[in-house]
Amino acid sequence: MVATEETVQTKPETPPVPSYLIYEVLNGQPVYYRGYRDVLAGKLDFSAIMGSSSLQSFLVSFIYGFILNNRDKKRYVPFTNEAGLHLETNDNLAADIAIYEKGTFELTTKYFNTPPKIVIEVDIKADVSERPGAEMEYIAEKTQRLFDFGVEKVFWVLSKPRRVFVAVPNQDWIFTDWGNDVPIMEGCVLNVKKILEDEGIPY
């Protein structure tokens, strides 16, 4: 039987993912919130995937508080709440904690358009399932993009393996237990396990 216009069936086009489900735009490609497929399928409300886990929320809050209290207050200002970084057109990233030197940023109602000196990421809120190598591919790509922007040091605190990545441009990454001391900047040494223990939080 020869196929005719009447007999050929075309697959319906996949509807575009709404922009509100985009977590970041990395190297021109949208990166969606983890769980966005469940929102599209009607299994979850958007609000259900927007928030952080209780552990991630604790870690971001207390790491930020530690840095706020132990920084050189005349030199550094830390920001949190997924600080938006506008790298260039079609490149917008979110930082769990961004540490700026005073005089290198401007406070506006838009994303930061200058690089922080240091970025600290706690776990991954993005859906990375379609990326080759999944989480490590995303971590490497985002870290390199931050370096290209001008960030001098990037830390990844990963709760599942209880590890911390320390990344500096053109150097080997350090992958260490989060119970070890990790220098963030001058006079500010982070020990994630100690923060949990000091607060009496079992994990």
* Per-residue tokens: 126: 């993005």
Please say whether the beta carbons of 148 and 140 come within 8 A.
no
Boundaries of every domain in the chain: 52-199
Give dist(CA 103, CA 159) in Å, integer: 33
Provide mean pLDDT across the span 139-154.
96
The rounded Cα 45 to chain-centroid distance in angstroms is 22
Kindly give, in sequence order, each residue whose CB lies less than 8 Å from that of residue 159, ignoring residues fewer than 6 positions away. 55, 56, 59, 122, 123, 203
Report whether pLDDT(48) > 80. Answer: no
pLDDT value of residue 15: 61
Query: Model pTM?
Result: 0.85
Of the pLDDT bands very low, low, confident and very high (cuts 50, 70, 90), residue 85 is very high
Please tell us whether the domain made up of 52-199 is placed in CATH 1.20.1250.20.
Answer: no
